[in-house]
Structure 1
Amino acid sequence: MRRATLALPALAATAALVLAGCSTASSSPAAAGDGPLRVVAAENFWGSIAAQLGGDKVDVTSIISSPDADPHDYEATASDGRTVATADMTIVNGVGYDVWAGDLAAANPSGTRTDLSVGDLVGAKEGDNPHRWYNPADVSKVVDAITADYQAKDPANSGYYDQQKAAFTGTALKDYDAVIADIRAKYSGTPIGASESIVSMFAPALGLDVLTPPDFLTAISEGTEPTAADKSTIDTQISTGAIKVYVYNSQNATPDVQAQVDAAKARGIPVSTITETMTPATASWEDWQTAQLTALEAALAQAAA
């Protein structure tokens, strides 16, 4: 989806603070009897993970929870500001993906809240690929960081958070890890085409070779016009069968992308879809991701046959 720089008309537009570092602000233990930790995630893909890691010791609110909402273009409300102002912890994606979320936290400062920026945690800077929830290694780092922050905020339940993390990584992620390993074992080195840069986040873990020009992937992700040369390159890759599978984001099917999808299908190249945000919204992060990877594996198997 398109990236944009957003204003926050309902909030303090002059806020100059930005979230920096992996986790910022206080990690002071929560006072006894305060109830569950109040956690606010900018997007529900991170919120889903945070809720599972916290169990009944946390209360997670995800500001972006609808598949129809574009996190790039979201305009925060006064209600969102109040939610953040009373939070014990916030989780934002960063990397220019949800600028409004960083501004929201800055406009509602707290001396006790812990602010986690995924981009800062994984060392990604503005202009880098922002789709970190599609990168298995980055997700692992976020799981570790959220657990550590929970334990710092609520040390009395440190063992509980260890148990939640073990259940998440060992049980909830079992199918997700298995399909990644299976794709890598069976289809490593397979050349594929893609519509945008989301695919670049998970293709290395799967061992897949993305042939689509990187500038095209970035252009579609950011809502800018791809070059004629890049479009011609992709047309040739499709018409000659140089790519074996085409993967596209169905939430961002521009005319250029739709033309490529149609051309791939006409050439007999299997097409696999992904979405940028959780679909359906009621799914867990791992169920959503596993379903998409399973569909991709089926497309790879079709291509190999």
Structure 2
Amino acid sequence: MSPLSVRVPRSVRRTVRIALGAAVAVVTAATATACSTSSPKTANAGDAASTGGGSGKTVQVVAGENFWGSIASQLGGSHVKVTSVITNPDTDPHDYEPTAADARTVAGAQYAIVNGIGYDAWADKLLASNPGSGRTELKVGDLVGITPGGNPHRWYSPADVHKVIEKISADYKKIDPADAAYFDQQKTTFETKSLAGYNNLIADIKAKYAGTPIGASESIVTPLSDGLGLKMLTPETFLDAMSEGTDPTAKDKAAIDDQIKNKQIKVYVYNSQNSTPDVQTQVKAAKDAGIPVATVTETLAPAGATFQQWQTTELQGIEQALAKATGK
């Protein structure tokens, strides 16, 4: 399937979680190599400079999702080896079933990065079932102060992304103090060069289109909308329902239909990796009404892209849609 293929609706797959506790127990006890649709892979080091030198130490890092893994890899350069568990764009991180290989990776990691906020509960169970001696753990939700029940899609919040960058760099220096200067260099390069296009697009969109009303298919778009200064008109109850795989109410669907029909929204943004029949209907209605449509995805697409390549492409699409809609 292509990165933009439609997944099976989450509501169909929520039953996976019923057996998740048992799956983790099996994973922990397993010794044979297991395979999955998203077997762990080392994240691309990306654009940040990697000059080597220092202690020669390599920190073993595991990331629950490849968007955090990409950032971690670029910040660590040649002094880290990052393995991301979720790497396949067709895999839903909400409902992932860990493998024996995942358990071994977690058990051997010196540093673990998970999203938290209920997004990757399987990762919390893997960490608890595979305690590592002296392992440092970063839960993004805890870092940014979002508790379970809040919006878990923090990689779409520019402010939270920068908080994660600061924390990962600080943790690397604590784990490997001999290479602190190297990690500082990596962070500076990443923030000033690798993320330059990402940062500039965010600033430009906010300056030019702040306050523009938009609609969206689910809550994954909300942190980005907030970061760009856009006005989300889609009912929050609809956004949350689509993200959680539950059925939206007829009232919410009618409200969205009215927003599209009367062009109350200027742009419609949808997650093409979670395109349910309701979302497909809204996308078609928006296009028929002449409302520009932009897409985002839940994980790196294509899978080998860096965080900034992925996000910059999406931001360019949103910027183009806003320009078309507003004439600015």
TM-score, normalised to structure 2's length?
0.85
Q: 1:246 to 1:229 in 2, by over 3 A?
A: same
Verify: 1:114 aligned to 2:136, yes or no.
yes
48, 58, 79: which one aligns with 2:80: 58
CA contact (8 A) 2:216 2:268 kept: yes
- Alpha-carbon distance in structure 2 between the residues aligned to 1:301 and 1:35: 48
- Alpha-carbon distance in structure 2 between the residues aligned to 1:104 and 1:295: 36
The corresponding residue for 2:25 is 12
- Alpha-carbon distance in structure 2 between the residues aligned to 1:235 and 1:56: 51
Identity of aligned residues (%): 59
Amino acid at match of 2:162: S
CA contact (8 A) 1:8 1:76 kept: no
3-state DSSP of counterpart to 1:12: helix
179, 182, 186: which one aligns with 1:164: 186
- Alpha-carbon distance in structure 1 between the residues aligned to 2:23 and 2:217: 35
Q: Unaligned stretches of 5+ in structure 2?
A: 1-8, 29-53
CA contact (8 A) 1:190 1:208 kept: yes
Cα distance, 1:35 vs. partner? 3.5
The corresponding residue for 2:220 is 198
- Alpha-carbon distance in structure 2 between the residues aligned to 1:186 and 1:172: 23
Amino acid at match of 1:295: G
Verify: 1:221 aligned to 2:243, yes or no.
yes
3-state DSSP of counterpart to 1:111: coil
276, 295, 316: which one aligns with 1:273: 295
115, 131, 142: which one aligns with 2:153: 131
Verify: 1:37 aligned to 2:62, yes or no.
no
Cα distance, 1:10 vs. partner? 4.6
Query: Which string of whole-angstrom CA distances, capped at 9 and with x for unpartnered residues, describes residues 167-208 of structure 1?
Result: 111111100011111111111111001000011111112110
301, 313, 323: which one aligns with 1:291: 313
- Alpha-carbon distance in structure 2 between the residues aligned to 1:253 and 1:76: 24
Query: Which string of whole-angstrom CA distances, capped at 9 and with x for unpartnered residues, describes residues 100-141 of structure 1?
Result: 011001100123111110011111111110101110111111
Amino acid at match of 1:177: N
Cα distance, 1:2 vs. partner? 3.7
3-state DSSP of counterpart to 1:180: helix
Cα distance, 1:34 vs. partner? 7.9
CA contact (8 A) 2:115 2:139 kept: yes
Cα distance, 1:165 vs. partner? 0.5
Q: Unaligned stretches of 5+ in structure 1?
A: 16-31
3-state DSSP of counterpart to 1:252: coil
The corresponding residue for 2:233 is 211
Amino acid at match of 1:259: T
The corresponding residue for 1:83 is 105
Query: Which string of whole-angstrom CA distances, capped at 9 and with x for unpartnered residues, describes residues 69-117 of structure 1?
Result: 1111111111111111111110000000000011001100123111110
Cα distance, 1:8 vs. partner? 4.1
- Alpha-carbon distance in structure 2 between the residues aligned to 1:300 and 1:265: 14
Q: 1:11 to 1:233 in 2, by over 3 A?
A: closer
- Alpha-carbon distance in structure 1 between the residues aligned to 2:139 and 2:227: 23
